[in-house]
Chain A
Amino acid sequence: MYRAEGLTRIFPGGTRAVDRVDLKIGAGERVAFIGPSGAGKTTLFRMLNCTLKPTAGRLWIDGEEVGHLHGAVLRAARRKIGTIYQQHNLVPRLHVVHNVLAGRLGTWSTPKALLSLLRPAEVETAHRVLQQVGIPEKLYARTDELSGGQQQRVAIARVLLQDPDVILADEPVSSVDPMLAVGIVHLLTDISRATGKTLVVNLHSVDLALACFPRIIGLRDGRVLFDLAPEAVQDETLAALYRGAPEAEGPAQVTPDASFDSNSSCRPLPKV
């Protein structure tokens, strides 16, 4: 799905946010990136979803090199990648239905998109994906009236409607409380399992990453520090990853909850 060679991004100030990253992610894989903030996770994701241009190195999506894309071909490539952001990625003044249907914007013609703002097209589909994420009753609510967790579900519904090959989730749960976080990560892994879509996430919570993802990549100072199965991630590995980071930055703890849905795709969370 993804192949990167020496992928580097240097910002105007001279900061090397991402530094010579080599990477291969196969179709249908579920991968979690962890690391202290400032490690370059978000910058890497913005290159993976075709927003930022790599300063150096090369990136292929499905064998197509990203740096050369522009215009309609670039838009077609973006359509294949659905992104869920940390927060603030929905249009606050629009109704939920429009934010969900925005997932179709890569496919719809501009006239159809405009008409849909007046009279929503494909309402049934929007309702169905909202049902999938558990908030069908919010179809006609104003988006800025929803809670953070509900907004994140709308963002997931938008990605479902976009129907991409890859789902990128950049810190999808950092703005919601820990229990909701578990629910949202489960929702994403369940979708990936059911549909075979590749799932790549940035996670602040190491426990959640280790519990739910078969492949963990540690990023520090823009470089890949390790690329391991969760069983192989040792305390020392994590200590090296977060060395020098303030305590609040360290591996976040998630309190396991007995009431938690047991037949979901994640393994039980480690007891604290």
Chain B
Amino acid sequence: MLPSTPTPVAVPFPRSRPSGFVLAFVLLICLTTVASWWAARVDLTALLSREALGNVLAFLAGGFPPALSPEFLGLLLRPTLETVQISLLGTAVALLIGFPLGILATASLAHAGPLHELDLGGRPLRRLLRFLPYAFSRAGLSLFRSVPELVWALVFVRAVGLGPFPGVLAIGVGYGGILGKVYSEIFEAVDPRPLEALQGTGASRWRVFWYGMVPQAFPHLVSYTLYRWECAIRASAILGFVGAGGIGQQIEISMRMFNFPEVVTLIGVLFLMVAGTDALSLRLRRRLL
């Protein structure tokens, strides 16, 4: 026998059988997807027909050449700045809402897992007291998320009037819900072994959080927050449609006047802003990781 001949493996690779629940779940997803195809009246022939493509091309051609007159570009300066302001402030508000709620909504920090075993084991009342803020913050975050930003914007336009401020609030609340949820998931994904070691020194949960969780989660927190800022720039453009200021308001005006060259220029400006934040966040992430 050649020395390199591998000895046959005695035990076969364990074949895992999916449980009934998993099978049912996968089947349900598949069926729903197929059913949605019909329900949404997906018709690829309509999309790819000569007529449809011609219409799209004609629509796009209407936007060229883009409006680049100095007067128009000068007019763009203020709304562009406003969009940056709305997105930045909105993300800041979202951070203020999402970070504390995200901490509360982290199960491994609130009530579950080895950090609580001895502290809460056999003390159902204490466990419940720890569980309640967790449950409420999760419910709150879900509520903030489930209302679309556009609806938040309409609500806040009613409350504080037209302009950039309702845009800031709409992004702040809506994105606060998203950030909080993602933060809590990032916190829970952190390696628990250093946390256990920190707790072993007699540190409180707060100190375990700041010394163990935050440093491990930091690059992911920054990276995801920057991504949300990028989303906020796009969102603030849409919010402008309902009177929440920024470049979106300008897009809406130009659209209504069928001035497509202006629309193309405006979308170009939006593209530059999104690409700019992307480049910025890339550099920042490289620095941090």
Contact = CB atoms under 8 A, between A and B. Distances in A.
A53 interface: yes
A248 B77 CA distance: 72
Contacts of B215: 91, 93-94
Q: Contact residue range for chain A? A: 35 or more
B55 interface: no
A71 B194 contact: no
A52 B120 contact: no
B216 A78 contact: no
Interface string A81-117: 1110100111111100010001111111010011001
Interface stretch (B31-39, B201-209, B253-261): B201-209
B114 A85 contact: no
A49 B196 CA distance: 10
A82 B201 contact: yes
Given A79-B201, A93-B218, A102 B211 contact: yes
B216 A105 contact: no
Nearest to A79: B202
B201 A110 contact: no
A92 B219 CA distance: 13
A50 B196 CA distance: 10
B197 interface: yes
A102 B118 contact: no
Contacts of B119: 70-71, 74
Nearest to B196: A51
A158 interface: yes
Nearest to B213: A91
Nearest to A94: B215
Interface stretch (B84-92, B121-129, B141-149, B275-283): B121-129
Given A83-B197, A93-B215, A113 B210 contact: yes
Nearest to B191: A88
Contact of B118 (A66, A104, A155): A66
A94 B194 CA distance: 11
Contacts of B216: 91-93
A69 interface: yes
A110 B194 CA distance: 18
B199 interface: yes
B166 interface: no
Contact of B201 (A52, A70, A94, A103): A103
Contact of A75 (B121, B191, B202, B218): B202
Q: Which of A91, A104, A106 has the most CB of B within 10 A?
A: A91
Contacts of B201: 78-79, 82, 102-106, 158, 162
Interface in B119-178: 119-123, 126
Contacts of B123: 70
Contacts of B17: none
Contact of B198 (A49, A79, A102): A102
Contacts of A92: 194, 216
A266 B214 CA distance: 41
A267 B234 CA distance: 71
Contacts of A228: none
Contact of B211 (A51, A66, A88, A113): A113
B65 interface: no
Given A53-B121, A89-B193, A93-B218, A110 B202 contact: no
Nearest to A76: B202
B100 to A, nearest CB: 15
Contacts of B191: 88
A34 B126 CA distance: 38
Given A90-B197, A105-B203, 15 more contacts: A50-B200, A51-B118, A69-B118, A74-B118, A75-B204, A77-B202, A91-B215, A93-B215, A93-B216, A93-B218, A102-B201, A110-B204, A113-B207, A114-B210, A158-B201
27 contacts: A50-B200, A52-B117, A53-B117, A70-B119, A74-B119, A75-B204, A78-B199, A79-B201, A79-B202, A81-B200, A82-B201, A85-B197, A88-B194, A89-B197, A91-B194, A91-B212, A102-B198, A104-B201, A105-B198, A105-B201, A110-B206, A110-B207, A110-B210, A113-B211, A114-B210, A162-B201, A162-B202
Interface of B: 114, 117-123, 126, 191, 193-194, 196-204, 206-208, 210-212, 215-216, 218-219
Interface of A: 49-53, 66-67, 69-71, 74-83, 85, 88-94, 98, 102-108, 110, 113-114, 117, 155, 158, 162
